[in-house]
Structure 1
Amino acid sequence: MFETRLCSMLGIKYPMIQGGMAWIADGNLAAAVSNAGGIGIIAAGTAPVDYVRAEIKKAKALTDKPFGVNIMLLSENAEDIAKLVCEEEIKVITTGAGNPGKYMDMWKANNIKVIPVVASTALAKRMERAGADAIIAEGCEAGGHIGELTTMALLPQVVDSVSIPVIGAGGIGDERGLAAAFMLGAEGVQVGTRFLVSDECTVHENYKEKIINAKDIDSVVTGRSTGHPVRVLRNQLSRKYQILEKENSDKEELEKMGIGALRKAAREGDVVNGSIMAGQIAGLVSKKQSCKEIIEEMFLGAKDIIKALSI
């Protein structure tokens, strides 16, 4: 039922990509997701090249399965990391925050599958023309940097606008969301927030507890006034940020508040003054599991749902 073009393209059992969560998606998590049958992703974010290289080496030591790297194209290290993935013979990369066109020929020459994250049909079409192998259509339910359209509205429109495989993302955290994405035309899904509480995720325990204890209304979007909206869980930092936005505070002052805030929460465990990026499905996440348990539970459950609908 779930043997889509994405599976054959990437050599995976389950058409699931793990979200590229900066300072969270490391070699340990990527290897665990790949070993469980999906595609694990190491997030480069704004990290230095040596950090990304070390995480790639770690993943290689933990799995013989394919895994990928997420490159944030606005990072000052993007060009060096774009070359690094070629040197390390990475099989797939996902991209965000920019246009990967300038690196496409180099990546293609190194047999790397390129899967950009998009928030509109216009960008999806542009990425297909640029040579993307697949597209991740991410709705605003997702954690971290987001667009405006919801997954339910965006996903089928992107599916209709391109001929390459489309992966649904944003608000997918259980078997129902997975089944819905496939009903909307997706050939795979990207999951981030659910993996935050996986046994193999090395994010700080305080961060995991915030996800586990989250309610449906606990995520908010900050940064709309700066043009860089980000979905996070409510805390002292987000409340202060929203107050300053209502007061039309200087954009530079607001952006300074975000510098290092995710790392503070994810690695140091400061969930009061740090940025707790998470999707709206955080309220659905109620238990810690292994990556294998998460993936199998979602796909087996979705299979049952779709079979029941086919009767």
Structure 2
Amino acid sequence: MSITTLLGIKYPIIQGAMARIATHKIAGAVSAAGGLGILGSGGWSADQLREEIRLTREITDKPFGVNLMLQMPNIDELVDVIIEEKVKIVTTGAGSPAKYMVRFKEHGVIVIPVIAAVKHAIKMEQLGADAVVAEGQEAGGHIGQTSSMSLIPQIVDSVKIPVIAAGGVGDSRSIVAMYALGAQGVQAGTIFLSADECPIPDSYKQRVINATDTDTIVTGRKSGHPVRSLRNAMLEKYLSLENNNAPQEELDKLTQGSLVKAVYYGDMENGSPMAGEIAGMIKSLRPAKQIIEELFAGTHDVVKNLRLPK
């Protein structure tokens, strides 16, 4: 079964559940345009999630999903809301959905874990996941350690369920490349930061548009929790301290509230404006519908013009 058939969508693209960003505004717009919008429930109360689900349904009657960060202290309550509100698609991260799989299956919920290693993909298939999102380290936000080019084919070869590729999706060429690696669809986050409907400050959007190919920075590798963001003075200082083995308490103090500073207040100097390596490819603001249509409109031309060796 194709990803579009499984999810009931027109285009095989899932919008990434960007922390503090993936509200009904962008999720509803992506779903209305034929992709799969995802609500990022991390940091929300059960009531907030319920409200976001209902607001999304005011925007579109098309399928959408909810992302669950499984280490959230109120995760049981969030799962209850998903079941009660009859949400039929869930993506998961930061842990195993094993505790909830039976309940999800009883209620016809499609479960798609986001993973960054072959061993995790195999485990998720064994648990009964319907598909996996394989995310390469080119992605923004919390990342693994393997690039999409290496990760995706290894995961495709290791599982029988569909693999959705994430990390490095920025244009039609990226889509074709992911399919060449064996993926059956893509997940994209950074490109939707430039969507008109994305609820981030203009300064954040402009920072993405102004980004070059080398403008992202990865912090947290030493602690085992790497995060990719757009480079700024605060993050440069963090990386310097990290490389000089500063205490974790000092590092945590430096970044305390930094995501909120970027997402809610547009602070590009002291915040953590998470974004992937493809930020350098984004040059304009567009509606989500136009972003999706342009991503897929050029794929056949890309394939047609491939210059493969004879």
Q: TM-score range by the shorter chain?
A: over 0.9
2:65 counterpart SS class:
strand
1:170 aligned onto 2:167: yes
Amino acid at match of 1:181: M
TM-superposed CA distance for 1:253, in Å, is 3.0
TM-superposed CA distance for 1:120, in Å, is 0.6
CA distance in 2, matches of 1:17, 1:310: 29
Alignment match, 1:144: 141
Amino acid at match of 2:274: M
1:76 aligned onto 2:73: yes
Amino acid at match of 1:281: I
TM-superposed CA distance for 1:219, in Å, is 0.3
Summarize the alignment of residues 31-70 of structure 1 with structure 2, pairs less than 5 Å apart: 31-70=28-67
1:271 aligned onto 2:268: yes
Summarize the alignment of residues 112-191 of structure 1 with structure 2, pairs less than 5 Å apart: 112-191=109-188
Residues 310, 6 of structure 1: alpha-carbon distance in 2 compared, 3 angstrom cutoff: farther
Alignment match, 1:207: 204
Alignment match, 2:4: 7
CA distance in 2, matches of 1:265, 1:49: 24
TM-superposed CA distance for 1:251, in Å, is 1.6
Alignment match, 2:236: 239
CA distance in 2, matches of 1:207, 1:102: 37
Alignment match, 1:106: 103
TM-superposed CA distance for 1:176, in Å, is 0.7
2:304 counterpart SS class:
helix
Task: Render the CA deviation track for 1:171-199: whole Å, top value 9, x for unaligned.
Answer: 11111111100111100000100000101
For residue 281 of structure 1, the aligned residue among 278, 281, 284 is 278
CA distance in 2, matches of 1:307, 1:75: 46
CA distance in 2, matches of 1:135, 1:52: 23
CA distance in 2, matches of 1:215, 1:226: 27
Residues 48, 255 of structure 1: alpha-carbon distance in 2 compared, 3 angstrom cutoff: farther
TM-superposed CA distance for 1:268, in Å, is 1.2
Q: Is the CA contact 1:91–1:111 (under 8 Å) kept in the aligned structure 2?
A: yes
CA distance in 2, matches of 1:83, 1:49: 8
Q: Is the CA contact 1:231–1:279 (under 8 Å) kept in the aligned structure 2?
A: yes
TM-superposed CA distance for 1:38, in Å, is 0.6
Amino acid at match of 1:186: A
> How many positions carry a matched residue from both structures?
308
TM-superposed CA distance for 1:240, in Å, is 1.7
Q: Is the CA contact 1:222–1:229 (under 8 Å) kept in the aligned structure 2?
A: yes
CA distance in 2, matches of 1:56, 1:303: 35
More displaced, 47-56 or 107-116?
47-56
More displaced, 288-297 or 74-83?
74-83
TM-superposed CA distance for 1:310, in Å, is 9.4
CA distance in 1, matches of 2:49, 2:137: 27
Task: With the length of structure 2 as denominator, give the TM-score of the two structures.
Answer: 0.96
CA distance in 2, matches of 1:260, 1:43: 18
2:164 counterpart SS class:
strand
CA distance in 2, matches of 1:255, 1:129: 36
For structure 2, the residue ranges without an aligned partner over 5 or more in a row are none
Identical columns (%): 51
TM-superposed CA distance for 1:305, in Å, is 1.1
More displaced, 301-310 or 56-65?
301-310
1:196 aligned onto 2:193: yes
Alignment match, 2:247: 250
Residues 187, 249 of structure 1: alpha-carbon distance in 2 compared, 3 angstrom cutoff: same
Q: Is the CA contact 1:46–1:76 (under 8 Å) kept in the aligned structure 2?
A: no
Residues 162, 310 of structure 1: alpha-carbon distance in 2 compared, 3 angstrom cutoff: farther
CA distance in 1, matches of 2:199, 2:124: 32
Task: With the length of structure 1 as denominator, give the TM-score of the two structures.
Answer: 0.96
2:298 counterpart SS class:
helix
Q: Pairwise CA RMSD of aligned residues? A: 1.4
1:226 counterpart SS class:
coil
Amino acid at match of 2:288: C
Amino acid at match of 1:103: Y
Amino acid at match of 1:41: I
Amino acid at match of 1:282: A
1:221 counterpart SS class:
strand
Alignment match, 1:301: 298
Q: Is the CA contact 1:46–1:77 (under 8 Å) kept in the aligned structure 2?
A: no
